Amino acid sequence: MLTFLARRLAQVVPTLFFVSILIFCLQQLLPGDPALVLAGEERDEQALAEIRARYRLDQPLPVQYLYWLGGVLQGDFGESMRIQRPVAELVLEKLPVTLQLGTMAFLVACLIGIPAGVVAAVKKDRAWDWIANGVALWGLSTPNFWLGIMMILFFSVELGWLPPSGYTSLREDFWQSIKTTIMPAFVLGNAIAAVLMRHTRSAMLQVLGQDYVRTARAKGLAEKVVVVKHALRNAAVPIVTLGALEFGQLLSGAVLTEQVFTIPGFGKLIVDAVFNRDYLVVQGVVLVTATVYVSLNLLADVAYILLNPRLR
Partner 1 sequence: MSAATATTATAAARIDSPGRRALRKLLRRKAAVFGLCVVALFVLVALLAPWIAPNDPVKTSWTAIRKAPSALHWFGTDENGRDILSRIIHGASASLRAGVISVSIAVALGVPIGLLAGYRGGWIDAIISRVTDAMLACPFLILAIAMAAFLGPSLRNAMIAIGISATPIFVRLARGATMATMVEDYVEAARAVGNPRWRIALRHVLPNIVPPVLVQATLAIAMAIIAEASLSFLGLGQQPPAPSWGSMLNAAQRFLGQAPWMAIFPGLSIFVVVLAFNLLGDGLRDALDPKGR
Chain residues that interact with partner 1, rule: CB under 8 A: 11, 14-19, 21-23, 26-27, 29-31, 137-138, 140-143, 145-146, 149-150, 152-153, 157, 164, 248-249, 251-253, 255-256, 259-260, 270-271, 274-275, 277, 279, 282-283, 285-286, 289-290, 293-294, 297
Please answer whether residues 231 and 207 qualify as being in contact, where contact means their C-beta atoms are separated by less than 8 angstroms. Answer: yes
Helix (H/G/I), strand (E/B), else coil: 128:
helix
Nearest to 289 by CA among 94, 6, 105: 94
Angle at 213 between CA 208 and CA 215, to 5 degrees: 150
Q: How far is the CB of 137 from partner 1 (least distance, A)?
A: 6
| Rounded Cα–Cα distance for residues 208 and 204 (Å) | 6
Nearer of residues 217 and 277 to partner 1, judged by Cβ: 277
Q: Least CB distance from residue 173 to partner 1, whole Å? A: 25
End-to-end CA distance of the chain: 6
Taking CA atoms, 25 is separated from 31, 184, 293, 294, in Å, by: 13, 33, 20, 20
Question: 198 or 230: whose CB is closer to partner 1?
Answer: 198
Look at the alpha carbons of 16, 293, 140, 157 in this order and tell me if their dihedral is positive or negative. Answer: negative
Instruction: State the amino acid at position 146 in one-letter form.
Output: W
Q: Which is nearer to partner 1, 216 or 297 (CB)?
A: 297
In this complex, which beta carbon is closest to partner 1, that of residue 241 or of residue 297? 297
Considering the complex, state which of residue 78 and residue 236 has its C-beta at the smaller distance from partner 1: 78
How would DSSP label each residue in 6-34? Answer: HHHHHHHHHHHHHHHHHHHHHGGGSSS-H
Nearer to partner 1 among residue 67 and residue 146 (C-beta): 146
Q: How far apart are CA 212 and CA 232, in angstroms?
A: 12
Residues 6+ apart with CB under 8 A from 119: 128, 129, 132
Number of Cβ within 10 Å of residue 81's Cβ equals: 20
CB of 223 to partner 1, least distance (A): 29
Side-chain-side CA neighbours of residue 225 (13 Å): 10
Shortest distance (Å) from residue 218 CB to partner 1: 29
Shortest reach from residue 146's CB to partner 1, in Å: 3
Q: Toward partner 1, which CB reaches closer, 178 or 294?
A: 294
Please report how close the Cβ of residue 11 comes to partner 1 at its closest, in angstroms: 8
Of the pair 12, 170, the CB lying nearest partner 1 is at 12
Minimum distance of partner 1 from residue 131's CB (angstroms):
14
Angstrom distance (rounded) from CA 202 to CA 269? 37
Is there a contact between 159 and 236 (Cβ–Cβ < 8 Å)? Answer: no
Q: How far is the CB of 310 from partner 1 (least distance, A)?
A: 24
